[in-house]
Structure 1
């Protein structure tokens, strides 16, 4: 869907994604998200007092969440193979390609990128075909409350589902196996590294700014208390946490360059831009523009307490971490749900220190450019149990 041209098919695919696959109601019904957060809190607790590779732990958390959302538990045994394919695609999409600047070199493929891409695509097709075949043999197989995205898409393909859809959906969509594979690929790319990067950056920024860390944890103690875990019903009351996550998304947007295409010929700043041109929107630079933000390169969550400050929903163009308009990220709700839940639990259950006596000012905050902009160095930290109640 990310690369599809705008038209009836794209419109209805997005409608299906927003209303069914990524709805807030659906996100809250995924017990697997809470299960994975609990599992990783338990893993951190078992290493309390020791140095923990937070980058690796967080990536495993988001990988498991998105994998289970897409495929359910039936295919956990093939998860490592799938992640290997996913990481290969991520490297290829973020790689410097000479043919982007010298188009006539495309046929020669001097860097071998096209060859690697075809190989990765074949491996991905084979993997998802195996999942779909298992689902079809099991006839859906899952309870209604425990269905995953592949289940939903296969159900939508059936005659019964087509009859139940509104007339415009019925006339515009005829899902094929290739469509299902493409949607799942979008979900995995759009939800794994992006959410992991946001969680890791949030924790890193708070460790570099101990006063902000103290403020968020004090709020958690007052709203939730130290005798129980955070619940979904607590989230709307956690103002400081919400501001912290917004500031993290401002400084470190999940995808720094947003993909768009011009619908018609236009002129921008005197430049002729033909229709069908691929346009990259630099969301990273926009969110650090000194004309829109005071002290834009500094981490200041309190800026979001001011009335009238920009929000990330897409209507304020100075802050568009999820894009804007009809090309905005359809999985925003699911991504934010996982981000909120993970960061809230990690901050509420533990206090955090940098290893080996490192000072906050010494923490490396450089990033790496690619499809996402993750930290250049993994975040390592020492957790200590904070709650007075048992974690499990």
Structure 2
């Protein structure tokens, strides 16, 4: 009885607020023409609509209300975009107005007090750090210089599979791919392996996974001021533990770089960042917190998403024996059987490229692009106020039947023209295909990610056949394609396969 009384007392102000808002919204003059959308509830707005799969919910709402709709998460207005035409308006025509990303308590805390790069507001600091990232880590020259690292880590991964290729021992491919990509990124940026056993290096893989999940979590306190200081979801406690451990590791790595700079003339990204922090005449004054936050962003942005792209590609290939046969025929004809695939072979492997693109169409690792408006603007006749959050549902756009024939089928051929050449690039200029976003806030690491994914997938197809639960590759077979909850489309279950050697990579790698 007491519980019923408390419930009634709680509901009365909610209902009163809801009726009052509805009445006044109908009687007062409308000064803004906002996009359509479902009716919002008091206090929480539309937060109740966000289930474990936001991209599904937003897709269904778009089918009812149109390609541009309004939502309100707590007190924060948002716009949802679900068509290529609308995405083009927001990401190209009005790109500058949506050149920032939404700020959250999680971003601020895990980004060392807002010093992170990935979620920093559009401005001088963000421009400087992006330019630095592109010139010192992701430029063509840098990627070329760092090619031996990527080759060595891929070969290490292939040899691990080879040691288990007796057709009996199962391998957690998801975990091993994550280790490979993580060590590529850590060696490229800090000249050391940070994933794997303690004997190989400092283990930060679990911490990076936790940071990724925290950043993608819907924190109620960011949208409802009443709950801002309450840790209702337990996210604050998780953040403190994760941040403390990650900071300890980063302090150790920074200290190592500071000690070695007098002994070793070879510079990595960490060395360059430390030099800038000590240069009084530098264009941008960096603190140690900026450096640690920047490295964190590189790990979070590059590791999970790249490894996920490989996981989903392998999952689709295992389901489709016809496709894997054609892919293997292409590799054998272009590369042969006397060496392992190299990054330089990618331009000559259009079907492998098409397989990866088709995977990213159906399984974009981040289902939704997040942006925030920095000024008032009018788009397609709708008024979009400043500080409005933007959700671009690239998962729905990649399955739009107006642009993709049989959109739910895995058909790499759609990315190859009649002459067998690759078509539709990944630079974000085709607004019906945006796996890496578009424009100035698009993913800066897309070239590196694609090189890693295509080369690794090609090498696995070349050297191994993969079995799941005893099903032979030529037969195909059922595979769990369930997606875990969240904005990042993780597999619900890790990809565990039994590798069967087709070519022995050991002598090929050694040669």
Using the size of structure 1 for normalisation, the TM-score is 0.89
Residue 54 of structure 1 corresponds to 173
User: Structure 2 matches for 1:137-148, cutoff 5 A?
Assistant: 137-139=259-261, 141-144=263-266, 147-148=267-268
User: Structure 2 matches for 1:322-333, cutoff 5 A?
Assistant: 322-333=436-447
Distance 2:262 2:455 in 1: 29
1:80, distance to aligned residue in structure 2 (A) = 5.2
Distance 2:504 2:454 in 1: 22
Residue 296 of structure 2 corresponds to 185
Q: How many residue pairs align between the two structures?
A: 381
User: Greater share of helix residues, 1 or 2?
Assistant: 1
CA contact (8 A) 1:243 1:305 kept: yes
Cα deviations by residue, 1:83-125 (Å, 9 ceiling, x for unpaired): 2322221232233433355342121121221232133223322
RMSD: 2.4
CA contact (8 A) 1:354 1:360 kept: no
Whether 1:6 and 2:122 are equivalent positions in the alignment is yes
Distance 1:123 1:130 in 2: 11
Unaligned runs of 5+ in 1: 164-169
Residue 167 of structure 1 corresponds to none
Residues 1:303 and 1:142: Cα distance change in structure 2 (over 3 Å): farther
Residues 1:250 and 1:141: Cα distance change in structure 2 (over 3 Å): farther
State the structure with more CA Rg: 2
**Partner SS for 1:192:** helix
After TM superposition, the structure 1 stretch with the greater mean CA deviation from structure 2, 230-239 or 150-159, is 150-159
Among 467, 474, 499, which residue is 1:353 paired with? Answer: 467
Whether 1:233 and 2:233 are equivalent positions in the alignment is no
Larger relative contact order, structure 1 or 2 (CA cutoff 8 Å, min sep 6): 1
Residue 25 of structure 2 corresponds to none
After TM superposition, the structure 1 stretch with the greater mean CA deviation from structure 2, 350-359 or 297-306, is 350-359
1:357, distance to aligned residue in structure 2 (A) = 2.8
Among 293, 313, 316, which residue is 2:427 paired with? Answer: 313
Using the size of structure 2 for normalisation, the TM-score is 0.69
CA contact (8 A) 1:354 1:380 kept: yes
User: Structure 2 matches for 1:40-189, cutoff 5 A?
Assistant: 40-48=157-165, 49-50=167-168, 51-73=170-192, 77=198, 79=201, 81-100=203-222, 102-139=224-261, 141-144=263-266, 147-159=267-279, 170-171=282-283, 173-189=284-300
User: Structure 2 matches for 1:14-25, cutoff 5 A?
Assistant: 14-25=130-141
Distance 2:307 2:381 in 1: 39
1:79, distance to aligned residue in structure 2 (A) = 4.8
Whether 1:387 and 2:509 are equivalent positions in the alignment is no
User: Structure 2 matches for 1:162-311, cutoff 5 A?
Assistant: 170-171=282-283, 173-268=284-379, 272-306=383-417, 310-311=424-425
Residues 1:27 and 1:309: Cα distance change in structure 2 (over 3 Å): closer
Cα deviations by residue, 1:11-49 (Å, 9 ceiling, x for unpaired): 121111112221132223222211111111001011111
1:196, distance to aligned residue in structure 2 (A) = 0.7
Unaligned runs of 5+ in 2: 1-116
Residues 1:143 and 1:33: Cα distance change in structure 2 (over 3 Å): farther
Among 420, 431, 450, which residue is 1:336 paired with? Answer: 450
